[in-house]
Amino acid sequence: MDKRDIYDGLSKLELDLESSLQQLTAMKAALQEIVEKNTTLELENQKLREYLQELKEENAAEEVKQGMSKSRMNLEKIYEEGFHICRESYGARRENDEQCVFCLEVLYRESQN
């Protein structure tokens, strides 16, 4: 191998190393951006979990205030959507959203022990 080939080989190796260094720098920057986004998302996720917990606690407190069980609240929602929840017409659509005495009795009667 003569001196010219060695010099050309070293020049090519230098260019390859510079190219690799540029790729490594770009990958490092991309990784840094991903880590920052991940950290931001983790913080946001934690805040959302805390907010959900607060909402659950508020709902539980509201349920206690209303004195209605969750199942009765679900029945009330179905009734408000325009469907019967009484034994006589369960699941049928209420005509013109008229009130049904039987449904209201199911919703608001006192618990029988």
For 60-112, write each residue's pLDDT tens digit.
766 655 666 778 888 888 988 999 988 888 888 888 878 888 888 888 776 54
pLDDT band for 31, please (50, 70, 90 cuts).
very high
Residue 103 is assigned to a ligand binding site: yes
Residue 84 is assigned to a ligand binding site: yes
pLDDT band for 52, please (50, 70, 90 cuts).
very high
Q: Is the pLDDT of residue 25 over 70?
A: yes
Q: Residue 91: left if φ>0, alpha if ψ -120 to 50, beta else—which one?
A: left
What percentage of the chain exceeds 70 in pLDDT? 89
Residue 72 is assigned to a ligand binding site: no
Q: What is the mean pLDDT of residues 13-34?
A: 96
Distance CA 97, CA 85 (A): 13
Amino acid at 27: M
Distance CA 94, CA 84 (A): 6
Neighbour-count burial of 79, counting CB atoms closer than 10 A to its CB (0-12 exposed, 13-18 middle, 19+ buried): buried
Residue 100 is assigned to a ligand binding site: yes
